[in-house]
Amino acid sequence: MAEEDEDRHARLAQEAAVRGERAARRAAEAGRRAAELHEYMKMIGEGVAEVPPVTGENRLVRAREHARRSAERAAQAHRDAAASHDHAAELHEQAAQQFPEEAEAHRREARRHRDEAATARRWADQEPH
């Protein structure tokens, strides 16, 4: 029974880690896209890049909207990553209680996941530039 519980905890922790990694990758990609759009819009504002005259205004409006949506997706991906890290931390806390011989290692991992969750929340709460 203990071996089944240990296997189950290991599987759940691995699944939570995979979800957290996926969410972090999505957050990074969405943040990268938002930063690229922001840089392009900044270049337009500085006169370094030009907006094509025929559809210029529409393109600028679409670019701003796209940047806003990208920033929203990035923030949501960071919130998802934070939730995954919180879940992983909870699983490590449970494992620490269930497996006293490995309790310190599980508590250390739980702290690491809580730190990662806090970082992800800070990123999610950042205002787009």
pLDDT in the model for residue 72: 85
Domain coordinates in residue numbering, the chain: 2-125
Nearest 5 degrees, angle CA 70-CA 72-CA 75? 110
Distance CA 81, CA 16 (A): 10
Residues of the chain with pLDDT below 70 are 1, 51-57, 127-129
The pair of structure tokens assigned to 69 is: 């949506």
Question: Is 23:74 a contact under the CB 8 Å cutoff?
Answer: no
Distance CA 21, CA 97 (A): 25
Please give the C-alpha separations between residue 58 and each of 23, 42, 55, 79, in angstroms, as whole numbers.
Answer: 32, 17, 5, 31
pLDDT in the model for residue 128: 60
